[in-house]
Amino acid sequence: MDFEEAADALYAAPAADFIATRNELAKQLKADGDQVGSTRLKAMRKPTVAAWVTNLLSRNLPDELDDLLALGDEFREATADLDGERLRDLTPKRHQVLDKLAKEATRLAGDEGQKVSADVGQKLRETLDAALIDPAAGDAVREGRLSSALRHVGFGVVDENGEPSNVTPLTDERRQAAKNRRKAQQAEEDKESASTRKQREAEEREEEEREAAKKSKAKQAFEDAVTAAQAAEAKVEELDTQLDNAREALADAQELVRSVGAKLDEARRVARDAQKESREARKRYNRL
């Protein structure tokens, strides 16, 4: 193991194990005969939480970081050309990329059991923004060995304590690769946007058709309900008429019952009187 490998392994170790890992690796370098490397490694500082999270992002998402740095190149080119329109187009992309990387870094840290506080999140974003603005800061972030978060203050890059940061350039090959990825990504996004637009239009047409079908079905149901209500009302009127007729017939029948009953009572009275008279007449006849 040489110094570079040891340094990478040191800053890839969990933050809580930094000191123990540094001592072990320094001892190994010394045992391998690299006294200078061992001394250099012992001088490396333990990263702050924000720096550790940034290093974690650099190791896990190197291509995305290169895209951020390439976007910084585009900003500098547009600024040098005084291209205001280009700068206006790039500004929302800058925020989108920073938001995406900060979110990914928070997720990666969470996977490692490290909570990202609001303060750490702010320092992480400032570090990524400094990497975009300053090529040297970008290289420092890309190397993945930060011991402190970075911040761009208008005249250079400083660490969390406000001290100037020693940072070193992204190769032309890596910059070009990042630019090529951005162009390919933009082309893919444009293609996806067209496809998404067509899909959305198709979905909107389907939704309109479904709504039209629902309205037609609802209209038919309403008309059927109106027809049924009218038929029910007609039936009610018919039954009301039948009931009135029945009540009238019942009243007539009741009157007829009373009249016939009265005549029956009178006939029975007459019959009793006649029978009585008949018995009296028979008695008179028998006495003769």
Residue 105 near residue 56 (C-beta atoms within 8 A): yes
Q: Rounded to 10 degrees, what is the CA torsion of 57, 62, 63, 67?
A: 70
Question: Residue 164: beta bridge partners?
Answer: 158
Question: Residue 151: beta bridge partners?
Answer: 158
pLDDT at position 212 over 80? no
Confidence class for position 180, pLDDT limits 50, 70, 90: confident
Lookup result for tokens 């923004």: 129
pLDDT of residue 163: 55
Query: How does pLDDT run across 249-275, given as a tens digit for each residue?
Result: 777 778 887 887 888 788 888 888 888
- Of 194 and 23, more confident: 23
Q: Is the pTM of this model over 0.75?
A: no
User: Which H or E element spans position 152?
Assistant: strand 150-152
Question: What residue type is assigned to position 100 of the chain?
Answer: K
Q: Distances from the Cα of 90 to the Cαs of 85, 181, 190, 211, in angstroms?
A: 9, 16, 16, 41
Assigned token pair, 205 = 């047409």
Among 67-71, 115-119, 131-135, 232-236, which is the least confidently predicted range? 232-236
Classified as helix, coil or strand, 147 is coil
What is the C-alpha separation between 155 and 278, in angstroms, rounded? 151
pLDDT of residue 169: 44
pLDDT of residue 173: 62
Check residue 148 and report its DSSP letter: S
What is the C-alpha separation between 267 and 277, in angstroms, rounded? 15
Assigned token pair, 233 = 């009302």
pLDDT at position 143 over 70? yes
Confidence class for position 62, pLDDT limits 50, 70, 90: very high
Confidence class for position 154, pLDDT limits 50, 70, 90: low
Q: Return mean pLDDT, the chain.
A: 83
Query: How does pLDDT run across 9-50, given as a tens digit for each residue?
Result: 999 999 889 999 999 999 999 999 999 999 999 999 999 999
Lookup result for tokens 């900003």: 75
HEC string for 19-40: HHHHHHHHHHHHHCCCHHHHHH
Check residue 87 and report its DSSP letter: H
Classified as helix, coil or strand, 57 is helix
Count CA atoms within 13 Å of residue 116 on its CB side. 24
pLDDT at position 167 over 50? no
What is the C-alpha separation between 50 and 121, in angstroms, rounded? 7
Q: What share of the chain in percent tops pLDDT 90?
A: 43
